[in-house]
Amino acid sequence: MAVLEVLKFPDPRLRKKCVDVEEVNDEVRSFAKDMLETMYSFRGIGLAAAQVNRQIRVITLDCRPRDEGRYLIEEMTELEQQVPQPLTMINPVIVVREGKTQYEEGCLSVPSYYELVDRYEYIEVEYLDLNGEKKLVKTDGLLSICIQHEIDHLDGKLFIDRLTPIRSTRIRNKIKKGGYPEVEPGELDEQQQKAITEELVP
Ligand code: ZN
């Protein structure tokens, strides 16, 4: 496994549109493993291939709230609880969108900046799993928000593009002035190591 470099806004490579994965093979599985390790290392809850400079439609997620090594399952919605995480989605497509919600979003490509973003509350998403099998996830809660954020990355879009023009300009200026903090990847704990292995060997 390897921790990959995460591109930061305004890197133009984050703007490229990603293409569908044609075959879910060992190379894709190994890449998904690296994505999960990278996501956990930088304490992220989601990552898109575009952020590590691969223009293919792959996202990884683990939005389970955690405290001192324990998953706070009771804080998740009923629908979220039914979706196994970590979750790798290949060629994800949102087929149903309902309701409205807002969440203070951050991004590993825009580290240390947060803004309230409008999203759909409930979504249904078709995707291929790591075995290349077609799956459908129905979810709301943080998982729904996170999936929408990551799919945006595959289309070259960042959360700061979804703000009103005034707020978007404000955050871009703040980033220009303030830059980003130096973030070193952290070690994965045993639970995260296990999560990666188990997701790939169901
Ligand atoms: Zn992001």
Domain membership of residue 157 as a residue range: 12-179
pTM of the model: 0.96
Q: Is residue 116 part of a domain?
A: yes
Residue 109 Cα, ligand 1 centroid: separation in angstroms?
A: 6
Percent of the chain with pLDDT over 70: 99
DSSP string, the chain: --PPPPP-TT-GGGGSPPB--S---HHHHHHHHHHHHHHHHTT-SEEEGGGGT--BSEEEE----EETTEE-GGGS-HHHHTS-SSEEEEEEEEEEEEEEEEEEE--TTSTT--EEEEEEEEEEEEEE-TTS-EEEEEE-HHHHHHHHHHHHHHTT--GGGGS-HHHHHHHHHHHHHH-----PPPPP-HHHHHHHHHHH--
Instruction: Kindly report, residue by residue over 167-199, the tens digit of the pLDDT.
Output: 999 999 999 999 999 989 999 999 999 989 887
- The question of whether 182 is a catalytic residue gets the answer no
Residue 117 Cα, ligand 1 centroid: separation in angstroms?
A: 12
Residue 17 CA from chain centroid, whole number:
16
- In this prediction, residue 57 has a pLDDT band, given cuts at 50, 70 and 90, of very high
Q: Is residue 154 part of a domain?
A: yes
Residue 159 Cα, ligand 1 centroid: separation in angstroms?
A: 7
> At residue 87, does pLDDT exceed 70?
yes
Average pLDDT, stretch 17-30?
Answer: 97
- In this prediction, residue 201 has a pLDDT band, given cuts at 50, 70 and 90, of low
Residue 81 Cα, ligand 1 centroid: separation in angstroms?
A: 23
Structure tokens at 77: 């919605």
Instruction: Kindly report, residue by residue over 93-143, the tens digit of the pLDDT.
Output: 999 999 999 999 999 999 999 999 999 999 999 999 999 999 999 999 999
Q: Is residue 5 part of a domain?
A: no
Average pLDDT, stretch 163-169?
Answer: 96
Catalytic, out of 150, 190, 198, 199: 150
Q: Is residue 72 part of a domain?
A: yes
Residue 66 Cα, ligand 1 centroid: separation in angstroms?
A: 20
Question: CATH number of the domain that 166 lies in?
Answer: 3.90.45.10
How many domains are there within the chain?
A: 1
